[in-house]
Amino acid sequence: MINLNDLRVLKAIADKGSFNGAAAVLDMPTSTVSRRVSELEKSLQVTLVQRTSRTVSLTEAGQLLNQQASPHLQGLLDSVDFLQEQGGLIRGKMTIVAPIFLSYFRLSSWIAEFQGLHPDLEIEFRISNKLEDVFGDQIDLAIRPGPLKDSSLIAKKLYETKMNLFASPRWLKSNKLPKHPSQLNQVSALTIPYLAKDWRVYKDGQSDVISTNYRIFSNDFGPLAEALIHGNSIAVLPQVFGEEFVKQGKLVKLLPDYQVETPGPIYAVYPSQRDKSRKTQALISFLEKKFKDL
């Protein structure tokens, strides 16, 4: 009988063009990749992979099998997971990807807590700011801020992000505490790419614009916060994220009555073909409760 996971290995070899590349994306030893291909070839009694000292490629039979099996493979694997989950346990493997700043925040501990509740579930938690990672065959769930443009993805809003201005205590030693946004015009600021613009702030239905003198420091709020703590600038951070450092005495919130224009909510995102996975739905429900308690 053919093992569906062996077909996944064959697809990874086709996609990556090498045993090493397939091993990396599947998170298994290269020797295991080679062994599984050999077992599949033995089961089918046909050579599927052409091996040379420098290259690895699929034979005609391997290409035919991969072309026929690949469009249906993930659905079959998800169906197996679904049937297993009907027994009452959440089990199998789940791969999650999230941006750096959320892992700095509480997401890492939340996911560890979720895995503790489901010991038969194996979780791989990847850190990446690239939305493209959601399209990978191995991604079950992505946690992402901002709006989505791809209609093939399903997005569940987890949290309505609020943004505020923050500075280090060091900055306050050489600057007065501002009472109005206009006092921050042209002040030295650090930012991330999608906030590299003038900042619009709101209070009681009225808006003002802070003309920033910014420098892009990072593409993520985590390193940005660290630079802010040890530097002499101001920055915009997600409210709940920045307030963690305020509690520790590492940052000070500026203009606390003002909200900075937000890039969008935080979403749980997953490919539409996996919308029946019980483990995905269970984790989303778990995270919804955690974000609600913030």
DSSP state of 131: G
Cα–Cα distance between 292 and 252 in angstroms, integer? Answer: 24
Label residue 22 by pLDDT band (50, 70, 90): confident
Residue 267 CA to its chain's centroid (Å): 10
DSSP state of 191: E
Label residue 260 by pLDDT band (50, 70, 90): very high
Instruction: Give me the pLDDT at residue 129, please.
Output: 75
Instruction: Give me the pLDDT at residue 132, please.
Output: 56
Question: Residues 45-101: pLDDT tens digits?
Answer: 889 898 876 678 898 888 888 888 877 776 666 656 655 555 557 888 888 999 888
Cα–Cα distance between 255 and 206 in angstroms, integer? Answer: 14
Whether 92-159+265-292 and 163-260 share one fold: the answer is: yes
Instruction: Give me the pLDDT at residue 227, please.
Output: 93
How many CA within 13 A on the CB side of residue 172?
14
Instruction: Give me the pLDDT at residue 287, please.
Output: 93
The domain 4-71 is classified under which CATH number: 1.10.287.1260, 1.10.10.10, 3.90.1640.30, 3.40.640.10?
A: 1.10.10.10
Q: What is the mean pLDDT of residues 247-276?
A: 85
Question: Residues 154-205: pLDDT tens digits?
Answer: 888 999 889 999 999 999 999 999 999 999 998 999 998 878 888 999 999 8
Cα–Cα distance between 201 and 163 in angstroms, integer? Answer: 9
Instruction: Give me the pLDDT at residue 273, please.
Output: 57
Is the distance from CB of 137 to CB of 22 less than 8 angstroms? no
Label residue 145 by pLDDT band (50, 70, 90): confident
Is the distance from CB of 100 to CB of 222 less than 8 angstroms? yes
Question: Residues 214-259: pLDDT tens digits?
Answer: 888 888 888 999 999 999 999 999 998 899 899 999 999 999 999 9
Is the distance from CB of 255 to CB of 167 less than 8 angstroms? no
Helix axes 60-85, 4-16, angle to 10 degrees: 130
Instruction: Give me the pLDDT at residue 168, please.
Output: 93
Q: What is the residue whose two structure tokens read 């990672």?
A: 133
Cα–Cα distance between 294 and 1 in angstroms, integer? Answer: 50
Fold entry, domain 92-159+265-292: D-Maltodextrin-Binding Protein; domain 2 (3.40.190)
Is the distance from CB of 266 to CB of 291 less than 8 angstroms? yes
Domain boundaries, the chain: 4-71, 92-159+265-292, 163-260
The domain 163-260 is classified under which CATH number: 3.40.190.10, 3.30.70.600, 2.60.40.10, 3.40.50.1970?
A: 3.40.190.10
